[in-house]
Structure 1
Amino acid sequence: MKIHFSNQGMLRNFENFLESADLSKPSELHISTNSKWINVHPAILVMTAALARKAGRLNSTIDTPPKSGAYLDRMGLYSYLKTPSPFSITHKDESGRFIPISVISTPQEQSAFISDMIPLLHLPEEKSRVIKYVIGELVRNVIEHSLSSDGAIVAAQYYKKSNRISIGICDSGIGIWKSMQENWHPATDIDAIKLALTPGISGTTRQEGGTDDNAGAGLFFIKSIAKISRSYFLIYSGKGEYKLTKHDRRTKTPRLYADPTRDPHREINTAPDFQGTLVAIDISLDNNEAFDALLEMISLVYDNAIRERKRAKYREPRFI
């Protein structure tokens, strides 16, 4: 496998990262870097760590990066690579600034990650609890349903200048298409991703509205947070990639849709075949009325979507 760390490694340019990636030969991984500057989103970091774990530490190497590559050291990437870090840096307290690459395999590790994430939000408790809940559910879903023996790999970064938090969650499990296949039979990876983004659809059951434990709403919630805060959201699994793009600034109160194809987005089903799932989000933490009303809006759209799907099901003609 080969991947490249460029100087434009944010979510808005994620397709460039995919175009330069070669995920064949999973038994080895090599990372090339821009010679002058690198800029790497936490999502790219956790995906790289997942690939390195699959290839094995002794089979994973990286070129000597520029000075900005010290960020890779501080985020803990070199612990997954055979190549030793060329940097000698003092590790200052990361609280409120970032969460380095971490593996979550147990509820206790999940709780620790959520606790570490709260200071990154720089929000009052009543607002941070919404994001805390959604991220917690998302990580729990990865652990329970990916069937990955490696658990979930997570990382997060707070950017003070733009008042934004970026989060990446990755697993090397069965992927969304396989998790949806038993009950929903999607034709392609991107079809499976769009099903997973639809509230009320869960890979664990054909029941409308999911189950009491999992109503299939975790991804819908996190996508809605990104949309309301006018930020990027991305999910990548198999050959499918769905990326929520930013809505027009003139739209002060964007609508939330149960159907992910109604949102401004980019989708492909020709990405390098990734055996696992990557979820990434940027959240702008600037205060606005829409963000304050987020939880109520999500709950309303979610309940309505489940109600409409049940009505449509009962309206279907039945032949004896």
Structure 2
Amino acid sequence: MMSFSIKGIQVNFTSGPDIEYWLNQLKLMQMMRECEAPRFLKPFHLATLAHILRQEGVGALALPKKVGDYADTMQLWDALEITSPFGPKNRQAAGRYYPIQLLRDETLIEESADALKELFQSVCDSPETLDGVHTMLRELIGNCFAHSAVKDGLYGVICAQVWQGGRKAQIALCDSGIGIRASLSENALLLEKLQHSNSCDLATEYGITSKPGKGHSGYGLAVARGLLQQNLGMLYVRSGNEVFRVCRGRASSATVADQWAGTLLVIEWDLDNPVDISALYDSFPLPEGADDDDFDF
């Protein structure tokens, strides 16, 4: 008798070229005041669009209805503080999505991390995964406030969505900071490494921080990389003209032509692959002067 098997559906993650194409469209929009809308909006489209349009001081925005309804549900026009062309809408509480949130106040670190954990909870029953998501997001959102240099009180933009049918979730976070290379350059011990390293790749390594001597503070990207490698998901980091991406456990980095001010993170999870942040922390050597209690969560 012959043996047969049917493999589960493989999650398709957002590609680097897809993100770069959209960032190029945003650059075109800044110059021409218009660009092409994608066929299917994801959180990274909306977070970056809100980020750019707030910098431009937009007074009105028109989107095709096929994507405009979703953008309105994700509260794009609210984030831009302009009137939506879709009129008033009775929005239900966030179930499978986390609408665009402007990061203006450090109290939003815990608030946003808690809300995103709750979002994952609707489609994920792994306590270890939920703890990992929560801890990672506290670190990453906290980095926005630690490294941003803001002019209008806005440190960053975040939004997210889960697709239960596709068994995938995406979180997009962009900040108004000085960028990863400039931030790491504040640590004199890293200057030589930065001369021959991709700064986005370097920032995801354990122990790399712009502020040495502060325990595990600033290790958000190392935690994100480690968890996404466990999950076989995708992490995309873009700052300046440098890119780092890890997808299904494979890492790559590149230098691109166009600059991105600040830092953009796109995180995609395979909802069927659990993660264990305790195991990740156990794999990290303790920083000098720290003990095990520093990594309790």
User: Normalising to structure 1: TM-score of the pair?
Assistant: 0.73
| CA–CA separation in structure 2 for the residues paired with 1:198 and 1:99 | 29
Residue 121 of structure 1: how far off its partner (Å) = 1.0
| Aligned-partner residue type, residue 177 of structure 1 | R
| CA–CA separation in structure 2 for the residues paired with 1:124 and 1:16 | 31
| CA–CA separation in structure 2 for the residues paired with 1:16 and 1:271 | 15
* Contact 2:145–2:155 (CA under 8 A) maintained in structure 1: yes
Residue 88 of structure 1: how far off its partner (Å) = 4.7
| Aligned-partner residue type, residue 302 of structure 1 | F
State which of 33, 38, 62 in structure 2 corresponds to 1:30. 33
1:279 lines up with 2:265 in the alignment: yes
| Aligned-partner residue type, residue 184 of structure 2 | M
Per the alignment, residue 68 of structure 1 pairs with 67
| Change in CA separation of 1:94 and 1:24 when aligned onto 2, cut-off 3 Å | same
State which of 183, 186, 197 in structure 2 corresponds to 1:182. 186
**Cα RMSD (Å):** 2.9
| Aligned-partner residue type, residue 54 of structure 1 | Q
Per the alignment, residue 51 of structure 2 pairs with 50
| CA–CA separation in structure 2 for the residues paired with 1:199 and 1:281 | 18
Residue 174 of structure 1: how far off its partner (Å) = 0.5
Give per-residue Cα distances to partners, 1:146-173, cap 9 Å, x unaligned: 2334212110111111232210111122
- Report the 3-state secondary structure (helix = DSSP H, G, I; strand = E; otherwise coil) of the residue aligned with 1:173: coil
Per the alignment, residue 225 of structure 2 pairs with 223
| Aligned-partner residue type, residue 43 of structure 1 | F
For 1:201-212, what aligned pairs fall within 5 Å after superposition?
201-205=208-212, 210-212=213-215
> % of aligned pairs identical?
22
| Aligned-partner residue type, residue 96 of structure 2 | R
Per the alignment, residue 257 of structure 1 pairs with none
Per the alignment, residue 77 of structure 1 pairs with 76
| Change in CA separation of 1:273 and 1:104 when aligned onto 2, cut-off 3 Å | same
* Contact 1:231–1:283 (CA under 8 A) maintained in structure 2: yes
Give per-residue Cα distances to partners, 1:123-168, cap 9 Å, x unaligned: 3473212210111111011111223342121101111112322101
| CA–CA separation in structure 1 for the residues paired with 2:271 and 2:28 | 40
Give per-residue Cα distances to partners, 1:95-135, cap 9 Å, x unaligned: 33111111122232222212221221123473212210111
* Contact 2:62–2:85 (CA under 8 A) maintained in structure 1: no
* Contact 1:241–1:271 (CA under 8 A) maintained in structure 2: no
| CA–CA separation in structure 2 for the residues paired with 1:271 and 1:39 | 25
| Change in CA separation of 1:140 and 1:26 when aligned onto 2, cut-off 3 Å | farther
Paired positions, count: 267
| Change in CA separation of 1:107 and 1:67 when aligned onto 2, cut-off 3 Å | same
Residue 23 of structure 1: how far off its partner (Å) = 6.3
* Contact 1:57–1:82 (CA under 8 A) maintained in structure 2: no
Per the alignment, residue 279 of structure 2 pairs with 297
For 1:237-248, what aligned pairs fall within 5 Å after superposition?
237-247=239-249
| CA–CA separation in structure 1 for the residues paired with 2:53 and 2:182 | 23
| CA–CA separation in structure 1 for the residues paired with 2:28 and 2:195 | 26
* Contact 1:154–1:168 (CA under 8 A) maintained in structure 2: yes
| CA–CA separation in structure 1 for the residues paired with 2:233 and 2:216 | 28
- Report the 3-state secondary structure (helix = DSSP H, G, I; strand = E; otherwise coil) of the residue aligned with 2:206: coil
| Change in CA separation of 1:22 and 1:239 when aligned onto 2, cut-off 3 Å | farther
Structure 1 unpaired stretches of 5+ = 1-9, 248-263, 308-320
| Aligned-partner residue type, residue 76 of structure 1 | Q
| Change in CA separation of 1:192 and 1:62 when aligned onto 2, cut-off 3 Å | same
User: Normalising to structure 2: TM-score of the pair?
Assistant: 0.78
Structure 2 unpaired stretches of 5+ = 1-11, 289-297
Runs of 4+ in 1 over 6 A off after TM superposition: 25-29
